[in-house]
């Protein structure tokens, strides 16, 4: 232990210097607080699942085969096709400023279907007794899209809702496909069906909400337009009636919601 006057003087000076330095360090810790969260960016790869429901108006079958010796006038009793589905999506976003450019592919499984009937009047003037000519079911069993997306990013929680770190309305357009099964039950008891792959377009819009840095929620509306197809089905087994019914354009409307995990 140093007992000289010089040693005591040096020890006292060191203690006096240490007191304000310690106070400054404590004050700095109090003022800085916890580290802020990193700024959110929509850039990156994501994958997730979704579910929803859809509907479309049922078109009339064209080239509707009936016995050419008959004078039937065909009328159609149709119902709107409805149903629900679930599926998966994979996409990538790239953010530049407030604009977010992206691409997304998805595949869906479920059933959007309708049961319909055709009624024949055995008289050219329509005075005969209506009779059932055939019934048919149109059923979309799977579909998917590959689309581009353009969004507008807004940082912070959603107004009136709170929470979250960013949100983004977006517009989307691209290619769509679907597998549609057409099944006919003729008046003669003949049952036949055929499945065709349809091609067309998808257009719509949606809303994405970043719940955390890793998890986002989406809600989306899509309109899918598919070209008509000819199905190899028998609608009448009378002699001279050709197989095949050309089913008109399908215009499908979808609402769905889902969750994504960002990598």
Q: Two tokens at 115?
A: 């049961």
Q: Where are the domains of the chain?
A: 1-35, 42-262
CATH class of 42-262: mainly beta
pLDDT digits over 15-46, tens only?
544 445 455 555 545 555 555 556 799 999 99
Contact 43, 95 (CB under 8 A): yes
10 Å Cβ neighbour count for 99? 13
Say what the pTM is: 0.78
Q: Two tokens at 31?
A: 């003022």
How far is Cα 179 from Cα 58, in angstroms, rounded to an integer?
16
For residue 34, give Cα distances in angstroms to 21, 79, 164, 183. Answer: 21, 61, 19, 65
Q: Two tokens at 146?
A: 């590959």
pLDDT digits over 197-253, tens only?
999 999 999 999 999 999 999 999 999 999 988 888 876 656 555 667 788 889 999
pLDDT digits over 84-107, tens only?
999 999 999 999 999 999 999 999
Q: Identify the residue whose tokens are 């997304």.
A: 104
Bigger pLDDT: 77 vs 231:
231
Contact 249, 61 (CB under 8 A): no
């Amino acid at each position: 232990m140093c007992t000289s006057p010089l040693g005591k003087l040096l020890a006292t000076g060191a203690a006096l210097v240490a007191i304000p330095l310690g106070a400054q360090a404590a004050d700095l810790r109090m003022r800085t607080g916890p580290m802020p969260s990193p700024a959110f960016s929509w850039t990156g790869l994501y994958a997730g699942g979704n579910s929803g429901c859809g509907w479309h108006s049922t078109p009339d079958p064209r080239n509707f085969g009936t016995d050419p010796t008959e004078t039937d006038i065909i009328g159609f009793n149709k119902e709107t096709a409805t149903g629900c589905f679930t599926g998966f999506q994979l996409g990538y976003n790239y953010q530049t400023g407030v604009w977010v450019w992206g691409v997304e592919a998805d595949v869906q499984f479920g059933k959007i279907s309708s049961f319909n009937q055709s009624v024949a009047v055995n008289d050219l003037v329509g005075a005969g007794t209506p009779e059932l000519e055939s019934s048919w079911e149109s059923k979309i069993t799977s579909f998917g899209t590959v689309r581009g997306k353009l969004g507008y990013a807004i940082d912070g929680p959603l107004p009136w809702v709170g929470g979250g770190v960013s949100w983004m309305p977006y517009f989307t357009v691209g290619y769509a496909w679907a597998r549609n099964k057409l099944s006919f039950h003729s008046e003669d008891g003949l049952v036949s069906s055929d499945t065709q792959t349809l091609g067309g377009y998808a257009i719509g819009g949606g809303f994405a909400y970043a719940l955390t840095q890793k998890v986002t929620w989406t809600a989306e509306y899509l309109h899918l337009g598919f070209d008509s197809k000819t199905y190899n089905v028998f609608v009448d087994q009378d002699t001279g009636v050709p197989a095949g019914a050309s089913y008109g354009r399908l215009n499908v409307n979808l609402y769905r919601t889902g969750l994504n995990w960002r990598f």
